[in-house]
């Protein structure tokens, strides 16, 4: 299981220090929540901040674009140093074209699905994806409670990936903590995003170990 802590719950005034602390704690991924105030009501950070901090970190930059018409910003975030760009199926009219553009920029690509969005929207693009992000809360805010029915969605997606013989990762974001980690991993989750349940419980190495121990159960 890969843990990708969400910087949405970190100290924004010390982002460089937070990234260094994550590396020191043995983390390999970090999750960037990019919000535009349109697709979701909140506004967070943009490509210039990621580009500046890319130089200071060796972590895998997992960039979640919660923005309307993400195709407008693919080049900016690729240039900023994103390792993975995840776009919402609900946010673009031309999903396949957007994914092809991400790949053309040499960046791994993923699709995020809101809790209510059915898996059938992935039918013709699943083979193109490095990762599918299952939102287990409605996007836009940290600290929300996990939506139970998304457990079944994770399991159904895992079966779909296996049936096609793919190696697509399944990421889960929203209300993830060590208590529900064992069940998430059992259902098929590969990458877990955790914000307040991670950053709110320092020291980071100890919290990382707690998530990994839960996953092993």
What is the per-residue pLDDT for 139? 84
What is the rounded CA–CA span in Å between residue 96 and residue 190?
24
Q: Catalytic residue among 36, 130, 173, 177, which?
A: 173
Asked whether residue 49 carries a pLDDT value surpassing 90, the answer given is: yes
Residue 83 is assigned to a ligand binding site: no
| Cα three-residue angle 102-1-136, rounded to 5 degrees | 70
Residue 173 is assigned to a ligand binding site: yes
Q: Catalytic residue among 33, 62, 130, 177, which?
A: 33
Domains of the chain, earliest start first = 2-216 (3.20.20.70)
Residue 81 is assigned to a ligand binding site: no
Residue 31 is assigned to a ligand binding site: yes
What is the per-residue pLDDT for 141? 74
Exposed, middle or buried by CB within 10 Å (0-12, 13-18, 19+), for 164?
A: exposed
33 classed as catalytic: yes
Asked whether residue 85 carries a pLDDT value surpassing 80, the answer given is: yes
Residue 200 is assigned to a ligand binding site: no
For residue range 111-166, list pLDDT tens digits in order. Answer: 999 999 999 999 999 999 999 999 999 987 777 799 999 999 999 999 999 999 99
177 classed as catalytic: no
């Amino acid at each position: 299981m890969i843990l990708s802590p969400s910087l949405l719950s970190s100290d924004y005034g010390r982002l460089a220090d937070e990234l260094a602390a994550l590396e020191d704690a043995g983390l390999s991924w970090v999750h960037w929540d990019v919000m535009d105030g349109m697709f979701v009501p909140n506004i967070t950070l943009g490509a210039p901040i990621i580009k500046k901090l890319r130089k200071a970190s060796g972590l895998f930059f997992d960039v979640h674009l919660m923005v309307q018409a993400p195709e407008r910003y693919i080049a900016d975030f690729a240039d900023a140093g994103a390792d993975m760009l995840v776009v919402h199926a609900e946010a673009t009219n031309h999903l396949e074209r957007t994914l092809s553009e991400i790949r053309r920029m040499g960046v791994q690509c993923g699709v995020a699905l809101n809790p209510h969005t059915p898996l059938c929207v992935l039918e013709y693009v699943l083979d193109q994806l490095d990762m599918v992000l299952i939102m287990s809360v409605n996007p836009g805010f940290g600290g929300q409670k996990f939506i139970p029915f998304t457990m079944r969605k994770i399991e159904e997606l895992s079966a779909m990936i296996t049936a096609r013989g793919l190696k697509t990762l399944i990421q889960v974001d929203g209300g993830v903590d060590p208590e529900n980690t064992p069940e998430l991993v059992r259902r098929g989750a590969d990458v877990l995003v955790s914000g307040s349940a991670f950053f709110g419980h320092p020291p980071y190495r100890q919290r990382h170990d707690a998530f990994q121990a839960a996953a092993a159960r």
